[in-house]
Amino acid sequence: MSVKTIALVAHDHKKADIVVWAQKNKEALALFKVVATGTTGSLLLEKVGLDITRLQSGPLGGDQQIGALIAEQKLDALFFFWDPMNPVPHDPDVKALLRLCSVWNVPVACNVSSADMLVSSPLFLDPNYKPDLPNYDK
């Protein structure tokens, strides 16, 4: 049984949302090891006081670093408040990250309501719960 690792990421127009969400869920988030992309991580540290491992900023490779954690089976969930209304320069990285969540059966919440449900899910909070790994041999 080990502490779960989660990643928190928000695009610029969603950063206010993730700060409010993290403030609301600060107690629950303290149960996890938290990693975040650079700017999101700085904001969460400053405004919420979360203990966070900061990766690169998204456009500089932060999404890919989180993808690498998924490929190495070192990430238990992704909370990604991505922006459906504004394009980002690293859109291929965003798509790749979301794709890897599906490839590796990693739970991913892309908006406030799904983040609320995931962070309060008894199943996810069960330290013994591990989603099945996919089998691509067939």
Ligand X SMILES: O=C(CO)COP(=O)(O)O
53 annotated as a binding-site residue: no
Site for ligand X in 19-38 (CB under 6 A): 37-38
- What φ, ψ does residue 85 adopt, rounded to 5°? -105, -15
63 is catalytic: yes
* HSE-up (13 A, CA, CB side) for residue 61: 4
Distance from first CA to last CA of the chain, Å, rounded? 30
| x-or-dash string of contact with ligand X, 96-135, rule CB under 6 A | ----------------------------------------
40 annotated as a binding-site residue: yes
62 annotated as a binding-site residue: no
Helix, strand, or coil here: 104?
coil
**Residue 67 binds to ligand X (criterion: CB under 6 A):** no
Taking the least distance from each CB to ligand X, the nearer of 38 and 107 is: 38
Question: Catalytic residue positions?
Answer: 63
